[in-house]
């Protein structure tokens, strides 16, 4: 038996560990870019069913792509044009209402009432301690606010990058899929292609279903909040729409924020909003979501919760979005590949 040179074994092992560390470090450093690429690819897969629909109606690929992008970007621009001015105006009114509330002395009265109700918590000693803490931590708070502003600007540039990548991926998605399938052995290529097409179709349908749920929540919120006389109904409906794009926790988070803001219109309005959203969440969970989403992905409810939580923990909002179709893809592979193979043994 030939004895390996210890130096060579150690050198190869050290190089292997170094390459592994280099790869992990590169992934961490490129996390933002990977997130942009993942988001753009996810959106492109969501747009693909619309392009396929137009192609089935005798549209060339390029024409279907142009029409789809023009419609989507036009709808998005129209939504921004319709919502942003009203939302900014209502946000300004919200700030002015808070300032007027403070200037009118109502804030002092509210604080006095709290002192009477909770004398053990809100007292001069605790107020002094809170003031001292704010004075000591003011530089870090200012730095956090500045970082938040920089993050917003970075997010805007990130959104532009994602839009550009989405257009590229949407235009070249068939060629990307063909190139990926070429990496599979020829004997299995047809089967892998079929599975890949089913997975990408389910992702597209899932994106469409999530947007449909968000639109329903946004429209119904605007109507109901206007009926009950809540302040800033368009701004609150926009919050309902965008939060509903986040699976599992988005609707409840948006509902809590909207109900809290409705307190500015009075406790009865906030109670009415809270009752409405409690009812709506039940309707969405047991009526709307099963009817819409079951056509896209067939995933058990418990697995939906686990997948969304795991994806959100690992990759944030993007992880929560892609976790459910990813779980559906794994189930599809298990049902169509693993189980039949086990049955043959």
Mean pLDDT of 62-69: 84
* Residue 153: predicted pLDDT: 73
- 34 — pLDDT class (breaks 50, 70, 90): confident
Which tens digit of pLDDT belongs to each residue from 215-261? 899 999 989 998 988 877 887 888 888 888 877 778 888 899 999 88
Instruction: Please count the CA atoms within 13 angstroms of the CA of 13 that sit on its side-chain side.
Output: 7
Mean pLDDT of 68-91: 74
* Residue 224: predicted pLDDT: 92
* Residue 301: predicted pLDDT: 61
Residue 143 has pLDDT above 50, yes or no: yes
* Residue 307: predicted pLDDT: 73
Cα angle: 267, vertex 270, 276; to 5 degrees: 140
Residue 307: Cβ-neighbour burial (10 angstroms; 0-12, 13-18, 19+):
buried
What CA–CA distance (Å, rounded) separates 170 from 99?
47
Mean pLDDT of 174-187: 84
| Window from 207-221, 294-308, 331-345 with minimum mean pLDDT | 294-308
The pTM of the full predicted model, rounded to 2 decimals, is 0.66
What CA–CA distance (Å, rounded) separates 307 from 300?
11
Residue 336 DSSP one-character state: I
162 or 129: which leads in pLDDT:
162
Helix (H, G, I), strand (E, B) or coil at 155: helix
Q: Which two tokens stand for residue 198?
A: 């089913």
| Window from 59-68, 155-164, 323-332 with minimum mean pLDDT | 323-332
Residue 113 has pLDDT above 50, yes or no: yes
What CA–CA distance (Å, rounded) separates 322 from 189?
25
- 1 — pLDDT class (breaks 50, 70, 90): very low
Mean pLDDT of 70-91: 73
Helix (H, G, I), strand (E, B) or coil at 170: helix
Q: Which residues contact 203 (CB under 8 A, 6 or more apart)?
A: 42, 45, 46, 322, 325, 329
- DSSP letter string, 76-142: HHHHHHHHHHHHHHHHHHHHHHHHHHHHTTHHHHHHHHHHHH-TTTSSHHHHHHHHHHHHHHHHHHH
% of the chain exceeding 90 in pLDDT:
5
Mean pLDDT of 110-134: 61
Q: For the chain, how big is the Rg over CA atoms in Å?
A: 26
178 or 87: which leads in pLDDT:
178
The mean pLDDT of the chain is 77
């Amino acid at each position: 038996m030939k004895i390996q040179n210890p130096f060579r074994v150690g050198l190869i092992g050290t190089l292997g560990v170094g390459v592994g560390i280099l790869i992990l470090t590169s992934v961490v450093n490129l996390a933002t870019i990977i997130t942009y690429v993942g988001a753009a690819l996810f959106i492109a897969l969501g747009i693909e069913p619309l392009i396929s629909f137009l192609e089935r109606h005798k549209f060339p690929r390029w024409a279907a792509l142009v029409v789809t992008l023009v419609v989507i970007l036009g709808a998005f621009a129209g939504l921004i044009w319709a919502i942003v001015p009203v939302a900014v105006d209502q946000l300004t009114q919200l700030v002015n209402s808070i300032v007027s509330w403070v200037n009118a002395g109502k804030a002092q009265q509210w604080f006095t009432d709290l002192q009477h109700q909770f004398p053990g918590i809100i007292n001069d000693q605790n107020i002094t301690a809170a003031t001292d803490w704010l004075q000591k931590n003011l530089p870090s708070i200012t730095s956090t606010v500045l970082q938040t502003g920089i993050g917003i600007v970075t997010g805007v540039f990130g959104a532009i990058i994602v839009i550009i990548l989405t257009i590229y991926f949407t235009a070249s998605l068939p060629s990307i899929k063909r190139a990926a399938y070429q990496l599979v052995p020829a004997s299995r290529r047809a089967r892998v292609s079929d599975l890949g097409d089913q997975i990408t179709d389910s992702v597209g349908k899932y994106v469409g279903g999530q947007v449909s749920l968000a639109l329903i929540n946004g429209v119904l919120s605007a109507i109901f909040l206007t009926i009950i006389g809540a302040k800033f109904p368009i701004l609150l409906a926009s919050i309902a729409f965008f939060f509903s794009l986040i699976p599992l926790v988005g609707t409840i988070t948006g509902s809590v924020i909207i109900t809290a803001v409705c307190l500015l219109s009075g406790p009865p309005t906030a109670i009415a909003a809270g009752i409405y959203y409690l009812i709506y969440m039940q309707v969405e969970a047991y009526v709307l979501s099963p009817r819409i989403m079951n056509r896209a992905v067939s995933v058990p409810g418990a697995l939906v919760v686990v997948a969304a939580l795991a994806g959100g923990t690992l990759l944030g909002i993007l992880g929560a979005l892609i976790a459910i179709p990813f779980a559906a893809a794994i189930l599809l592979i298990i049902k169509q590949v693993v189980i039949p193979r086990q049955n043959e043994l």
